Amino acid sequence: MRREHEPPPPPDQSPMEHEHQLRRARQGRIAKFLVALFLVVVFVVFIVQNSKRTRIDYVFFHRDTRLIWIMLACGILGGIVGCLLGRPGKQVRLRRKKKDENPKP
């Protein structure tokens, strides 16, 4: 059964095969979400357990800071860098131009 927002099956593929591929893609997204959720929970528990003050040496100065803020900042920066470099869940699709569209002179 095809939903409204799903693309129709390709002409060379049966509807059953197409439905199977869509189901596997959905299951993959759910699995990624559950793994990410588990990692976030572990990260939050780890941060809360390490909330005592410690001396942190920054590049040009030092300061007594709670480890909770250092770990939270590192996690956020790591997430931003990971998203910028990896763009999870997105695929780059190279589109080939048809010969009819761009005839060479």
**Which band of pLDDT confidence, cut at 50, 70 and 90, is reported for residue 102?**
low
Highest mean pLDDT among 20-24, 43-47, 53-57: 53-57
**pLDDT at site 47:** 76
pLDDT at 72: 82
Which residue has better confidence, 9 or 91? 9
Provide the residue ranges of all domains of the chain, joining segments of one domain with +. 15-85
Residue 103 has pLDDT above 60, yes or no: no
pTM of the predicted model as reported, rounded to 2 decimal places: 0.47
Q: DSSP letter string over the chain?
A: ---TTSPPPPTTS-HHHHHHHHHHHHHHHHHHHHHHHHHHHHHHHHHHHT-SEEEEE-SS-EEEEEHHHHHHHHHHHHHHHHHHHH-TT----PPPPPTTTS---
